[in-house]
Amino acid sequence: MGINDYLFIDGYIKLLEYKNRGRLANIDTIFPVIEFRVKKFAGHKDFKRVNFHVIFSDKVVPEIIQTQFLNSLQGKYHLSPGYEGIRWNASVSRESLSDLGQKIKKTVPPEQLDKYGSDLIEGFSNLNFDEEK
């Protein structure tokens, strides 16, 4: 079974803990799967961002996935030409995604802010990667 997490491996780690405590006995193998959005859109009726899925061997420990793969993902944005100096360039983490969300929300008119989620949700929802890099 593949456990699909967006940008983090929390779900996979939690299921490994359950399995190590004797639960999920009917599941032989659990694969970590990391999903992330790329900048391209695709679709027939509605255009949506394309998602990439990276499936790791169950032999690769979560710490290696975190340090060697996830920590190397970089995001970079110039949020809006009308807002001088609002740029974001960081490795992907909860803290950096919250920072991105905060910067995005700074460009929103105050009367529209109630339509936005937390800084983390906005950063997470808006992050995408160039599939060429």
Q: What's the domain range around 115? A: 74-126
132 in a structural domain: no
Range with the largest mean pLDDT of 16-20, 44-48, 83-87: 16-20
Please tell me the total count of domains within the chain: 2
Local confidence band at 133 (pLDDT 50, 70, 90 cut-offs): low
* CA-to-CA dists, residue 116 to 4, 20, 54, 89, 121, angstroms: 25, 39, 29, 22, 9
> Same domain, yes or no, for 19 and 57?
yes
Please state, in angstroms and rounded to a whole number, the distance separating the CA atoms of residues 54 and 76: 21
> Same domain, yes or no, for 114 and 78?
yes
pLDDT at position 85:
65
Local confidence band at 44 (pLDDT 50, 70, 90 cut-offs): confident
Please state, in angstroms and rounded to a whole number, the distance separating the CA atoms of residues 75 and 32: 22
> Same domain, yes or no, for 67 and 85?
no
45 in a structural domain: yes
> Same domain, yes or no, for 57 and 79?
no
